[in-house]
Every structure is written in C-alpha cells, then in structure tokens.
Structure 1
Amino acid sequence: MSSAPHRIAHLDMDAFYASVELLRYPELRGKPVVIGGGRNAVPEILPDGSRRFARLRDYAGRGVVTTSTYEARALGVFSAMGMMKAAQLAPDAILLPTDFDSYRHYSRLFKAAVATFTSDIEDRGIDEIYIDLSDVPGEPADIGTRIKQAVREATGLSCSICIAPNKLLAKIGSELDKPDGLTLLAASDVPLRIWPLPVRKVNGIGPKATEKLAALGIATVGDLASADLGMLQTHFGRSYAAWLAEIAQGHDERPVVTSSEPKSMSRETTFERDLHPKQDRQTLSEVFTGLCQRLAEDLRRKGYVGRTIGVKLRYDDFHTVTRDLSMPAPTADAAQLRRAATECVKRVALDRKIRLLGVRVSALTPAGEVAPAALPVQAELPFADNA
C-alpha cells in the first residue's frame, strides 16, 4: 500500500499589520495606508467623535515602512522602504503607528484556528506558517477553503494559501493569487506557473544571487531550469549550484518542522537623528540600557538564556559594524547582557555619528537546562571613552 502523497500548505496573512489596523479603523478600507509611524502618527479624536489621521507627507525622520496596504503598494510603497522616500511616492497616504501587541494577538488567533485541523504546523513568523496536510482527509481545495474560513472567523482577516507537493512550491504559490488566494499546485504545474517567475521569487535566492544570475542571462526560474549545471558550478560552487538546479525543477525534500529552537534574539532601533558618541552619550546610554532590558524580557518570556552577546552599530555613512562576545555562562539578565554588550562596544571605533544601535543574543539554551552564573555589572556605556 503506497503512502499518501505529500500535501504541504503555506499560509500567508494578507498585508497582516495593515489588515489588523483596518479592523480598528474600518473607515480606511480601500485607502493607501502606511504602518510605521511613531507616537506622532496616533490618530487624533475630534470633538464630534471622528478621527483625524496623520498623512505621510507630514512625516520627518529616519524610520522605515513596516508594511502598507495593497493600495499603498500600488503607489510603490513597500515594507523596509525609507519613510521619507515613501512620502515622496504617496504623500497623501494615511500614516499609522505600529502596534506589535495587537499583531501578536491576531497571530495567536489565526494559528490557533489552523491548529484545529492539524498539529503539523511549522511557525515561520508572526504572519506565516507551513502546514502538513498529508494526513488531513478531504480534497485539497475543500481543506484550503475550510482553513481560510476558520482564519476569517477567528480574526476577521483574509489569508492566502497554496497547497503543493512541497514547501518550495507552497511558499511561491501563496504569492501567486494574493490577496485572499487559494492556489493548488502540482509538479506538472511547474513549467506553466513557476518557470515564468523571476528568480527572486524563490525563497533562498537573495539580491546578490539574483544580480549574479542576471549577469549570466538568467532572469526567470525557467532560465535557471535550462541553465548548464557546469556553468552554475563555475559561478556559484558545487553545493549552491546543485540546489539551484533542484529548485528550478520544483524539487524540495524539506519536511515541515513542527518544533524548532530560535537561533538568536535581538533588539535594535534606528534613531530619528544621527547621534554623536560624545555629545549624545547620555541618550545613547539610555537607549542601550533599554535595548538590553527589552531583550532580557524577550528571553525570559520565551524561556531562553544566551551565551553569545553582540552589538550592531550603523554609522551616518550607512557603514555597519558588529562585534560579539561569548560569556562563561548563558544568561537572560539585563545587567549581564549590558555588561557583555558594553565590552563589545569598546571594540568599535566611535569616531562618527551613529544611525542605528542594536543588541543581539545567540547560542540560546532553554532556561531550565542551565543555571546562569553571576557576572559583575558595569554601569556606563563608554561612548565618550572611545570617541
């Protein structure tokens, strides 16, 4: 008796953060809305009970777009774009602040709804999951429709789902019919639906590889499928070339991983204005302490301790440096994190203004498996000492 065919789904919430905000502000439906403003972007309640919303043209600062509605995307505004550039493209777009507590709440709701169908779920972040539907009875179209309906009933939000033979095709397919899409892909669909796509649509082919492939005349997945393997090996090495050849044919053997340990956790902030290591030392020190405290809270909330502490600094010329330090014992204590991060900062040249500051913890271990050792605390961040 043959085993059931693999049926892997990728579920991606549609414009998730923006869609959550539209539940709160339904009068903004159908309008270009950008998420990523700070406190100044909180809507103003007018005397008649109506709301006055901030406009993107009034934004001033160094922030980036967290996400945008599809109407804003049609104007060229996408996530990770600088807010000032977005304001040039869509000056009349509505600007709203981010509310991650709310997004996490709706994330838990949609994942709980999917879990009523199967526990074979791989969590890929706040707004997407893989689902192994191989053992779920029913036709793929019916299962997908029922999952989408369960998510909508639980959250009031739409999602896009692709059901395919593997994770690679499911991930690509969930983007094909957005928003509110239900896509079914079989191996036989690869030439028609996958090969015409640009190579950047494949998860794992980043901007640098895309640029390198383009220089070789390879723009689409179909181009990659017909490329000479020896040529790919010459330019990308044996391992990556073999992977490129496999994914171009729609092959992927990765299983849905239902439990995974995070590799690292981090906190960082981009300043509204570039800060000087000496003149803005107090502000930098306070921000640095806050990052360490919030990172410690993240670790404790998720039940981890970490042994390797690192810092990231981005200067006003956009040059980025990182430094890390492995401690004798793992910790989730804010003061210990700050002390180790301070040692990392001492190894960085502080000779120009700083645009971004971040703190990271890796080499994570579940907190119940270790007893953290106490470390002495150093109170001040030495920005002035190294300037």
Structure 2
Amino acid sequence: MGDWILHVDLDQFLAAVEILRHPELAGRPVVVGGDGDPSRPRQVVATASYEARAFGVRSGIPLGLAARRCPDAVFLASDRPAYEAASAGVMVTLRSFPVVVEEFGWDEAFVGVRTDEPETLASALKARLLAETGLTCAVGIGETKLQAKTATGFAKPGGIARLTRRTWIETMGDRPVTAIWGIGERTAMRLADIGIRKVVELAAADHHELAQRFGPTIGPHLKVLGLGGDDSPVVDEPHVPRSRSREVTFERDLTVRTEIDEHVARLATEVTESVIAEGRRVTHAAVKVRTATFFTRTKITKLAEPTTDPAEVARTALTVLDRFELTRPVRLLGVRVMLEPPPA
C-alpha cells in the first residue's frame, strides 16, 4: 500500500454556503462580499458562484464592477459565523474517515492516507461531504502536498485529479514557474534573471547556482519544488492562524498624515486585542498601504520582544508606517500581526 496525500478544496465555498441557506438562488449568479450593496464604494467581491464567474466576476474586484459585469447577480453580505460553522462541519466529516486531516483554512484540507486506491477514497470523501454538508469539492491526489494541491487545480470544479513524480514534468514542465504553489512573482522575476522561466527549467537547474542566488536553504528548495517535491507531512491538527489582520478601505482618500496615523494605531490596537483572549503574543507587525492609484505596498518589522500590549503594537506599527513615502492619497490601510504559536 502507498502513502498518498489528498487535497480537498470546496467548490465556490462562500457562495455555496449562501445557496444552501437560500435554495432559490441555485443556478443564479451569486456574489458575496462586504455588506452586499454594490452601490456603496470600495467594497470587494469575496467570492462568486460559477454562474457569476462566467461574466468575469472574480474575487477581489469592486462590487460595483461586479454589478456592471453581471447586472442580474444576487449580491449578499459576507457572514463569517456561517462560513466558520460550515467549515467546521466539513472537517468533522473528513475526520470520520480513518485518515489524517490537516485543516488549511475554511475551505481546504490536506488528507493523509495509506491506500492502494486513492481515487476510491476521494470519491467516498466527495460523496459523504455532499450527503452530510450539501457541499461539493474537488480533490487533488499526490505523493506530496505540492502535487496534491496542484492536481486540485486540474480537478476543479467538482472533479478528481492525480499528479505524481512520474507525471509532474509531463504535466507541469511547460508552465511558468508561478504555476508552482509557493513561487510568487518576485521569485519568478529573480529566476528569470538567470534564464529560468518554466517549471522544466527549474527542475533541471543547477542547485549550486540556485544556492548562490537565493541562499543555501531556499535555493535548493526551489529545485525540489520544480521537481514536484515537498517533504512537509500532513499534521492532524486544526488550522491555527499564524497571523491576524484588520484593514479598511476609505470612502474618502486620506491625505492628512495625522488621520493616517490615527487609523493605523486604531487598527493595530483592534487586531492585538482580538488575539489576547487566545493567549497569543504578537511577534511582528506589518502595515499595508494602498494609494488612490491602487499601488499597494506592505512593510513589516519584528518587535523587540513578543507582547500582548496593544499600545506597544500600535507604536511599532507607526514606526513601520514611517518607512512609507506617503506622497499620494491613501485609499486603504491595513495592519497584520504575526503570532507566536498557541500554548500547548
């Protein structure tokens, strides 16, 4: 019997939860985000049903733009408690199988199992989830987390796909390196500087050259990713957020520095207070600034020592803000705090 990792990814999760609550919306374009009012400025789409996506509605676009692209869409406010409850039900169902389950956010989980028939298990997972929660999912199968999560992209929506070391290059080789989970645009640009643009080129790269370019740890790891490798195990623990954030988009762009300072301090205080009850301490503070031209930048710093003092986090966030050149009107501000692991 072989060791397999399955990646379970719920289809259009937020929209699907809303459709379960409002069955009359089945088959209609549904958009979830903000308070659900597309006439109000500066609210964005959290998720859209597949019917809405057919009109070009995507996560992250303004609700107003979504309404113009899909005038017949039904717009609904986000309801975090409902999504958390639905997610909890999904994880309970997955754990009813003799498998190891690692939660990966509301709508994803990795499942570790020893079996000769991973597709049979994937079908059983899908069937039980549908029967017990009413939700559908795609399942990716692989020998590593990277392979499984990548396979899910080929399985969406609602299907099953498998990627292995044997099929990795055949399937992924001609794709850009950004198709690899964990490689972003910045890393891709640095790889392009040394002539590596495709997955197959990364897989064939000299690990010494990568180590010189990216360091002795990250460089060789990038080559492993290029080969579809990933040695991180599936850990049977609930998903524990490593950070917490708050952000606000302003109806009127901010131009006065004192106003910007006040909002950053308030966000830092609020987000810190939200984690105190969990016994978590803040280790880093990050500030996100988006200007009226949609230029977005995030800067982060480490606190002198872990703390639960909101005032200290606010002071640190303001020192991070000082590193920005605030020469344009500010449209959005956010504060994110990185957290110590919870107490055992």
TM-score by length of 2: 0.81
Give the secondary-structure state (helix, strand or coil) at the position aligned to 1:174. helix
In the alignment, is the contact (CA less than 8 A) between 1:121 and 1:132 conserved in 2?
Answer: yes
Give 1:118-197 correspondences, 5 Å limit. Answer: 118=98, 120-134=100-114, 139-195=117-173, 197=175
**1:221-260, CA deviations, whole angstroms, 9 ceiling, x for partnerless residues?**
34654x5538974995475554444333333322223348
- Please give the root-mean-square deviation of Cα atoms over the aligned residues, in Å: 3.6
Aligned to 1:358: 334
Q: What amino acid does structure 2 have at the position aligned with 1:114? A: L
Q: 1:288 to 1:92 in 2, by over 3 A?
A: farther
Paired positions, count = 341
1:293 aligns with 2:290: no
Q: 1:359 to 1:96 in 2, by over 3 A?
A: same
C-alpha distance in structure 2 between counterparts of 1:286 and 1:245, whole Å: 43
TM-score by length of 1: 0.73
In the alignment, is the contact (CA less than 8 A) between 2:207 and 2:220 conserved in 1?
Answer: no
**1:270-319, CA deviations, whole angstroms, 9 ceiling, x for partnerless residues?**
223312336x83x974785366324422x135431224444333333425
- Residue 172 of structure 1 and its aligned partner are, at CA, apart by 0.7
Q: 1:228 to 1:201 in 2, by over 3 A?
A: closer
**1:33-78, CA deviations, whole angstroms, 9 ceiling, x for partnerless residues?**
222232x53xxxxxxxxxxxxxxxx534223321211222223222
Give the secondary-structure state (helix, strand or coil) at the position aligned to 2:44. coil
In the alignment, is the contact (CA less than 8 A) between 1:61 and 1:273 conserved in 2?
Answer: no
Give the secondary-structure state (helix, strand or coil) at the position aligned to 1:161. strand
C-alpha distance in structure 2 between counterparts of 1:223 and 1:336, whole Å: 47
Q: Name the % identity.
A: 33
**1:2-25, CA deviations, whole angstroms, 9 ceiling, x for partnerless residues?**
xx4221111111111111111122
C-alpha distance in structure 2 between counterparts of 1:204 and 1:325, whole Å: 23
C-alpha distance in structure 1 between counterparts of 2:139 and 2:26, whole Å: 22
**1:362-385, CA deviations, whole angstroms, 9 ceiling, x for partnerless residues?**
35253x69xxxxxxxxxxxxxxxx
C-alpha distance in structure 1 between counterparts of 2:264 and 2:219, whole Å: 44
Larger Rg: 1
In the alignment, is the contact (CA less than 8 A) between 1:14 and 1:179 conserved in 2?
Answer: yes
C-alpha distance in structure 1 between counterparts of 2:228 and 2:289, whole Å: 39
Give 1:234-253 correspondences, 5 Å limit. Answer: 237=214, 242-253=220-231
Task: Identify which of 259, 269, 272 aligns with 2:248.
Answer: 269
C-alpha distance in structure 2 between counterparts of 1:84 and 1:104, whole Å: 27
C-alpha distance in structure 2 between counterparts of 1:87 and 1:231, whole Å: 51
Task: Identify which of 286, 300, 303 aligns with 1:326.
Answer: 303
1:207 aligns with 2:185: yes
In the alignment, is the contact (CA less than 8 A) between 1:6 and 1:166 conserved in 2?
Answer: no
In the alignment, is the contact (CA less than 8 A) between 2:245 and 2:271 conserved in 1?
Answer: no
C-alpha distance in structure 1 between counterparts of 2:211 and 2:221, whole Å: 14
Give the secondary-structure state (helix, strand or coil) at the position aligned to 1:7. strand
1:258 aligns with 2:236: yes
